[in-house]
Amino acid sequence: MIRVEGLHKSFGSEEILKGISTTFEQGKTNLIIGSSGSGKTVFLKCLLGLFTPEKGKIFFQDKAIQDMNDDEKRDLREDIGMVFQGSALFDSMTVEENVMFPLRMFSNKKKDELLDRVNTVLARVNLENVNKKFPSEISGGMQKRVAIARAIVNNPKYLFCDEPNSGLDPRTSILIDNLIQEITREFNITTVINSHDMNSVMEIGEKICFLQFGNLVWQGSNNEIFKTDNKDVTNFVYSSNLFKKIREVQLKENAPR
């Protein structure tokens, strides 16, 4: 579990995050959504420890990252897996070498043990017999699955995903969403996803935080978001024609007869 209390972050005179408090639950897919400039990327980077907030605290389980010493922060980094927006695979490395990279950083195991673990996570994301291929030789969807395999190879307690469906077609996006949710539940990980994809919200948004101008203006589940009266949320959710039609159907179904 991750708990955030009164988080403030500024750059110069511009306040980006304005006192955000929320909880991301273990074993669930937690989504951060909002339009450009809402603060969601800065929020994610604060959670990752890449930015230091001026006020507030971020607790991993019951320990605030601001109160951790260097050894505790290193231990926490070992417990974190990250899926980057563009997969961020090393072009000069094979799939096998990419997935093995975090193991080499944090493990003293022998190569055959490392390879066994790599093959285990590649099988888990339905990628086999691609060990010796380079990222340029596989599809975008396969690259994303390699990125997920790399993120979970160290058995993390926390998984962060930055726009995991960016650049993918709708069908592949659904497969990636389902895979992330399956892994979250299977390994009881606290997963936090930064997303603008309303399909992801609808499919896997067990906990959703909606940010606007640095404020947390709404939080709830994917079932609740389609029923809220919060105008800021509904304007964002129903900005696409697809979700406008969904809203129209819902209003007709709930209209008095």
What are the tens digits of pLDDT across the range 42-61?
999 999 989 999 999 999 98
Number of folded domains that form the chain: 2
Lowest mean pLDDT among 97-101, 127-131, 232-236: 232-236
Do 75 and 162 share a domain, yes or no?
Answer: yes
Burial of 257 (0-12, 13-18, 19+ CB in 10 A): exposed
Between 105 and 82, the higher pLDDT residue: 82
Reported as a single tens digit per residue, the pLDDT across 56-90 is 999 998 899 989 999 999 889 989 999 988 778 99
Q: Which residues does 78 contact at the CB level (< 8 Å), separation at least 6?
A: 106, 154, 156
Secondary structure (3-state) at 165: coil
Asked which of 155, 186, 204 is the last residue of a domain, the reply is 155
Do 23 and 139 share a domain, yes or no?
Answer: no
**pLDDT for residue 132:** 95
Are 7 and 43 contacting, i.e. CB atoms less than 8 angstroms apart?
Answer: yes
Identify whether 39 is part of a domain: yes
Lowest mean pLDDT among 21-35, 41-55, 222-236: 222-236
Asked which of 119, 134, 155 is the last residue of a domain, the reply is 155
Between 106 and 66, the higher pLDDT residue: 66
Do 176 and 131 share a domain, yes or no?
Answer: no
Structural domain span for residue 171: 2-79+157-254
| pTM across the whole model | 0.87
Identify whether 84 is part of a domain: no
Secondary structure (3-state) at 52: coil
pLDDT for 250 beyond 60: no
Do 166 and 244 share a domain, yes or no?
Answer: yes
Confidence of residue 223 (pLDDT cuts 50, 70, 90): confident
Do 190 and 241 share a domain, yes or no?
Answer: yes
Average pLDDT, the chain: 89
Do 102 and 138 share a domain, yes or no?
Answer: yes
Secondary structure (3-state) at 175: helix
Do 225 and 163 share a domain, yes or no?
Answer: yes
Across the chain, how many H-helices and E-strands are there? 10, 10
Do 184 and 223 share a domain, yes or no?
Answer: yes
**Separation between Cα atoms, residue 83 and residue 107, nearest integer Å:** 20
pLDDT (average), residues 231-238: 84
Burial of 111 (0-12, 13-18, 19+ CB in 10 A): exposed
Identify whether 85 is part of a domain: no
- Going by C-alpha positions, the residue among 179, 175, 209, 212 that lies closest to residue 195 is 209
- Going by C-alpha positions, the residue among 211, 196, 187 that lies closest to residue 161 is 196
Lowest mean pLDDT among 41-45, 92-96, 97-101, 252-256: 252-256
